[in-house]
Copies of this chain bind each other. A is one copy, B any other.
Amino acid sequence: MKFEVTILGSSSATPVFNRNPTAQLLNCNEKFYLIDCGEATQQQLIKYNFKASKIDYIFISHLHGDHYFGLIGFLSTMNLNGRIKPIHIFCPEPLKQILELQFHYSETVLNYEIIYTFTHTHKAVEILSNSDVIVETIILNHRVPCTGFKFTQQKKARKLLIDKLELENISTEYYPLLKNGVDLEFPNGKILHNEDYTTEPEPAKSYAYCSDTMFDERYFESISNCDTLYHEATFLHELIERATQTHHSTAIQAAQVAQITGAKKLLIGHFSSRYKTIEPLLLEAKTVFENTHLAIEGLTFSI
């Protein structure tokens, strides 16, 4: 089952020549989840050859423009392109008013429904659970209310020992029960112990997205032991005062979060426009957490 994230934007507040504001596309079992939607995200989707129409879930971390100014255009385009299936948006409540005001003055009546789930910043909660994934909020510490999102795959099915099952002529109709860990007892008294015919499933993997935040232990529990952690790293550590002042993180701090919370892999992004080259941010993070990668436009990371 595919579980990977493609980076559509790696820039902080303002775009620079080769870096766009924040947006990521999560592919979980060929279902697509858009995480934040900076200006020109729809153009990035075109550039990297993704079909916007496949996206059914959108997550907006907070209402700084570099994380949502592309949403109104994205939604408008889907309407013009004939979308009729509903779309789910998880976001701070005022975003609804912002979108509706713009639809109103353009005299746009959407042909599809927007189903809003409003995020809150007092407590991390589960906001979505479907057949593929569970999504929970992460309470970040930024200048305006801001949540990250943790995506965890649904518990996977046990793996069948097909050779053994076929050798014993066990009907395929029992396979779904075995995959779910059920022991089978037949009318003739014969018992199939699940563990003799299946093996442990692959563990469900998790991806945590920490968009804009200062280093704050209070959100560490929400992201413990992630397979992949995306954490903003706006500044080099020499600008830690500026980072704290603006409620952002340095590359070192992002790496420290990965280390402390037991992440297996770290992606860093949201780079300040002051950095013409961003390799120094990577090098700095790697001094603390070796398995760090630059989350830059067009790259896809398996989770």
List residues of chain A with CB under 8 Å of any chain B CB: 13-17, 20-21, 39-40, 42-43, 46-47, 63-66, 69-70, 72-73, 76-77, 80-81, 92, 94-95, 97-98, 101-102, 105-107, 143-144
Contact = CB atoms under 8 A, between A and B. Distances in A.
A39 B73 contact: yes
Contacts of A64: 106
A13 B80 contact: yes
Contacts of A94: 105
Contacts of A105: 63, 92, 94-95, 98, 144
A105 to B, nearest CB: 4
Given A94-B105, A106-B144, 10 more contacts: A15-B42, A15-B46, A16-B46, A64-B106, A65-B72, A65-B73, A69-B72, A97-B101, A105-B144, A107-B144
A94 B69 CA distance: 18
A222 B73 CA distance: 32
Contacts of A69: 39, 69, 72-73, 76, 102
B65 A43 contact: no
- How many protomers of this protein does the assembly include? 2
Shortest 10 CB-CB contacts between residues of A and residues of B: A40-B40, A39-B73, A14-B77, A63-B105, A69-B73, A94-B105, A65-B76, A13-B80, A64-B106, A15-B43
A102 B98 contact: yes
Contacts of A97: 101
Contacts of A72: 65, 69
A243 to B, nearest CB: 16
Nearest to A97: B101
A59 to B, nearest CB: 17
A43 B70 CA distance: 13
A14 B98 contact: no
Contact of A101 (B43, B70, B76, B101): B101
Nearest to A12: B80
Contacts of A107: 143-144
A109 to B, nearest CB: 12
Nearest to A18: B46
Contacts of A47: 17
A60 to B, nearest CB: 11
